[in-house]
Structure 1
Amino acid sequence: MTSFGDLLGPQPTLLPGDDEAESALLNNEDPAAVAAAHPTASIAWAYLAEASLGAGETITAYAFARTGYHRGLDQLRRNGWKGFGPVPYSHEPNRGFLRCVAALAKSAKAIGESDEYARCLDLLEDCDPRAAEALGVS
C-alpha cells in the first residue's frame, strides 16, 4: 500500500537528499553559494526563492523556485517517479522540491499567473495532500 492508502498506486518516491548542501544551509552558509556549489540541490533553490518572496522580490523568487522545481523533477525521475504518485512531505529530502513548488505557486499567484498557480496546487495535492497546508499554500 502506498503512503496515501491507494493499493494500486505507485510506491512513494523518496529522494536521497544532498547531505553537503543541507549541512551547509543548516550551518547558515549563503544559499546562493550553496546553490552554485550544489546546483542540483532543490533545497538551496527553495531557500533562495523563499528569501526572495520574503523580500518582496517576486520575479526573482519565481525564477529561483522554477529552477529548484526543475532540478527536483530531474531527481524524482532518476529515482523512479513517472510524473505521478506520492512524494511524501514527511520525507525530509523531498521537502526541497516541495518547497520549490510552493514558492512557485506563491510567486505565480502574486504576478497573476493563475494557470501556473493552479498547476502547482494540483502537483502539491498529487504529491502529498498534506504538503500545501504544511507549506502555507492555499
Structure 2
Amino acid sequence: MSILGKNLMEPEPTLLPPEPEVTESLAAGEEPVDLAAKHPTSSLVWALLAEDALDGGYTVEGYAYARVGYHRGLDSLRQNGWKGTGPVPYSHEPNHGFLRALYSLGQAAAAIGEEQEVLRISKLLDDCDPSAEEQIAKVRG
C-alpha cells in the first residue's frame, strides 16, 4: 500500500452525525423557524433561516441567524473531534448545515462591509472544503 500523495500531517475529515429528526421534519414541510425552538443546536436550521432572511433582504437578521448556525456548528465539530483545522467535506450531507451557515455568514458580512470577517470566513470555508463555496452557490442559485 502506497502512502504517496497523502498528506500524513492533515487530520482526518470531520463528519458530523446525521440529524434525522430535523431532516424528516423539513421534508414533511415543517418551517425552519418552528424547528429552531425544537432543535436549537442544529446548524442546518439556522443556515436555512439565514438563507431565507438574506433572500428576503433582511441582511442583519440573516447575519444573526448565520452567526448562530456557525457557532452551533463549531460546537458540533469540536464534539466530533475537530481541532480547529482539517477537512469538513461538503460531500457528507450532515456537514451541510455548518458549511451553509458559514457561507451565509460570509455573504452577510460582505453586505455590511465587514471585510476582515469576509476574508476570515472565506479562508475557513476553503480550508474545510475547497469545493464547498461552489457547491453551495449552485444550491443557492
Aligned counterparts of 2:20 and 2:71: Cα–Cα separation in 1: 19
2:48 is the alignment partner of 1:65? no
Cα contact 1:41–1:68 (8 A) shared by 2: yes
The count of residues paired between Structure 1 and Structure 2 equals 134
The answer for the alignment partner of 1:87 in structure 2 is: 88
Aligned counterparts of 2:29 and 2:120: Cα–Cα separation in 1: 32
Give the SS at the match of 1:136. helix
Aligned counterparts of 2:51 and 2:6: Cα–Cα separation in 1: 32
2:34 is the alignment partner of 1:33? yes
The answer for the alignment partner of 1:13 in structure 2 is: 14
Instruction: Name which of structure 1's ranges 25-34 and 60-69 shifts more when overlaid on structure 2.
Output: 25-34
Aligned counterparts of 1:126 and 1:5: Cα–Cα separation in 2: 16
* Cα displacement (A) at 1:5: 4.4
Which letter does structure 2 place at the counterpart of 1:88?
P
Q: TM-score by structure 1 length?
A: 0.93
* Cα displacement (A) at 1:74: 0.2
Aligned counterparts of 1:5 and 1:22: Cα–Cα separation in 2: 34
Give the SS at the match of 2:137. coil
Partner deviation per Cα, 1:6-34 (whole Å, 9 max, x = no partner):
23210000000211011111222110111
Partner deviation per Cα, 1:39-78 (whole Å, 9 max, x = no partner):
0010000110000010000000000000000000000000
Percent sequence identity is 54
Cα contact 1:50–1:103 (8 A) shared by 2: yes
Aligned counterparts of 1:129 and 1:37: Cα–Cα separation in 2: 32
Which letter does structure 1 place at the counterpart of 2:64?
A
Where in structure 1 are there 5+ consecutive unaligned residues? none
Q: Which structure has the larger Rg?
A: 2
Aligned counterparts of 2:116 and 2:22: Cα–Cα separation in 1: 32
Q: How does 1:33-52 map to 2 (within 5 A)?
A: 33-52=34-53
Aligned counterparts of 1:33 and 1:42: Cα–Cα separation in 2: 14
Cα contact 1:25–1:44 (8 A) shared by 2: no
Aligned counterparts of 2:137 and 2:50: Cα–Cα separation in 1: 14
Where in structure 2 are there 5+ consecutive unaligned residues? none
